[in-house]
Amino acid sequence: MNDSMLKELSLERCLDLLRAGTVGRIAVLSEGAPLMFPVNYRLVETSAPTWLAVRTSEGNVIDKAPLNVAFEIDALDDEHHDGWSVLVRGTLHHVDPDAADFRTRFDPEPWVADERDAWLVVAPFSITGRSVTAVDPVWVFDPRAYL
């Protein structure tokens, strides 16, 4: 059995990973139970605070979600036993996509764009991340094949 090393990611590394991604999962509460949905997103970086922009259908669970939400992106490599995860906790707010050119500058470009007319942002109060790396590398081939 391999040992693994768990380490915290810096805020800058978390932001780099959020900048590079386009799909994550948003967790909301609905009728007292947590639900998680895959969504397209875009990191919004302006002179104002950093946000995550998402679009969804008006009136659906995400659109009607309470204020506090969580958002996660990750990447895992089962073969090598390593990966990383970024968790954003924040508050969900409706935005006017036409205000300050928001629509053209920060459209998360959902894969299913029809009727995605509810524009939302997650205003983070916490962005954390961690990575796990195998201490002993897991070989993806049998070394006996080379003898």
Beta pairing class for 33-40 and 68-77: unpaired
pLDDT band of residue 46 (cuts 50, 70, 90) is confident
- Span 124-146, average pLDDT: 77
- Span 61-89, average pLDDT: 93
Express each pLDDT in 11-26 by its tens digit: 999 999 999 999 999 9
pLDDT band of residue 135 (cuts 50, 70, 90) is confident
Please state which CATH class domain 4-146 belongs to: mainly beta
Number of CB atoms found within 10 A of residue 28's CB: 21
Q: Give me the pLDDT at residue 2, please.
A: 55
- Compute the CA torsion angle 12, 89, 18, 27 (nearest 10 deg): 160
Number of CB atoms found within 10 A of residue 79's CB: 9
- Residue predicted with more confidence, 3 or 117: 117
Domain boundaries, given as residue ranges, for the chain: 4-146
Query: What tokens were used for 107?
Result: 């459209």
Count of residues for the chain? 147
